[in-house]
C-alpha cells in the first residue's frame, strides 16, 4: 500500500526522537487488556481491537519510521500497571514474532519438499524419455512426469519467492512494534 506523505497529516511526530506517534486513549488501564481473558493480570492478552488498530496504523506509516505509542489514561498514575502493560505488550509481540518465524520456516520447508518432488519427477522423465516402447500409456506417463515436474517446480518457486514476502514484511512490522517506545500521559 502506497502511503506517501498522507500519514503525516494523521500522526504527530516526536520532535526530540523523530518517532511517529500513535495516540491511544484509554479510560482505564484495564481497557488495554482483553476483557474475556481471565488470566492473572500480568499475563493477560492485549485487547483484539487495540491490536487491530495498531496494525491499521502500522500499515499507514512507512516501515522505515520508528514508532512511539502514547497511552493517554483517564485514571491516576500507577507505575506497576504501566510496567504490566509494557510486559504484556512485549510478550504479545514476541509471540507474534515467533509465529511469523514459524510460518516463514514452514514455507521454506514446503518449498524444499516440492522442489525435491519436482526434481525426482524431472529426473524420472529424463531417464525414461529414451524408452523405445511407444504406446499410449508410456507417452501419457512420460508427459505426466514432465508436466508434474514443472508444476511442482513452479509451486516451489512461487512459495519461495512470492508467498514468503508477506511473512517477511510482517516480521519487519513486528520488529518495529517491539522497538516502539511506550509512554503514558494522564488526564
Tell me the domain boundaries of the chain. 7-99+180-186, 101-166
8 A C-beta contact, residue 85 and residue 182:
yes
Average pLDDT, the chain: 89
Whole-structure pTM value = 0.79
What is the Cα–Cα distance from 108 to 120, expressed in whole angstroms?
A: 18
| Closest to 107 (Cα-Cα) out of 28, 167, 47 | 167
With residue 185 as reference, give the H or E element that holds it. strand 181-186
Low-confidence ranges of the chain (pLDDT < 50): 1, 3, 41-42
Instruction: Report CA-CA distances (Å) from 152 to 116, 145, 156, 161.
Output: 9, 10, 6, 14
Q: Residue 187 is placed in which grid cell?
A: 488526564
Q: What is the pLDDT of residue 46?
A: 85
Q: Among the residues of the chain, which ranges form H helices?
A: 7-10, 48-60, 79-128, 136-158, 165-179
Q: What is the pLDDT of residue 10?
A: 86
**Sheet bearing 12-13, strands edge to edge:** 12-13, 20-26, 67-73, 181-186
| Closest to 156 (Cα-Cα) out of 186, 119, 122 | 119
Amino acid at each position: 500500500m502506497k502511503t506517501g506523505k498522507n500519514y503525516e497529516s494523521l500522526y504527530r511526530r516526536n520532535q526530540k526522537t523523530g518517532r511517529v506517534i500513535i495516540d491511544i486513549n484509554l479510560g482505564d488501564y484495564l481497557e488495554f487488556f482483553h476483557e474475556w481473558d481471565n488470566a492473572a493480570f500480568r499475563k493477560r492478552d492485549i485487547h483484539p481491537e487495540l491490536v487491530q488498530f495498531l496494525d491499521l496504523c502500522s500499515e499507514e506509516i512507512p516501515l522505515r519510521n520508528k514508532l512511539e505509542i502514547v497511552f493517554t489514561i483517564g485514571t491516576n498514575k500507577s507505575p506497576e500497571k504501566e510496567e504490566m502493560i509494557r510486559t504484556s505488550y512485549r510478550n504479545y509481540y514476541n509471540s507474534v514474532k515467533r509465529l511469523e518465524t514459524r510460518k516463514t520456516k514452514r514455507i521454506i520447508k514446503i518449498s524444499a519438499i516440492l522442489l525435491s518432488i519436482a526434481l525426482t519427477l524431472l529426473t524420472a522423465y529424463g531417464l525414461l524419455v529414451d524408452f523405445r516402447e511407444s504406446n499410449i500409456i508410456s507417452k501419457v506417463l512420460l508427459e505426466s512426469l514432465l508436466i508434474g515436474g514443472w508444476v511442482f517446480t513452479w509451486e516451489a518457486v512461487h512459495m519461495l519467492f512470492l508467498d514468503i514476502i508477506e511473512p517477511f514484511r510482517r516480521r519487519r512490522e513486528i520488529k518495529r512494534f517491539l522497538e516502539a517506545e511506550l509512554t503514558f500521559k494522564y488526564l
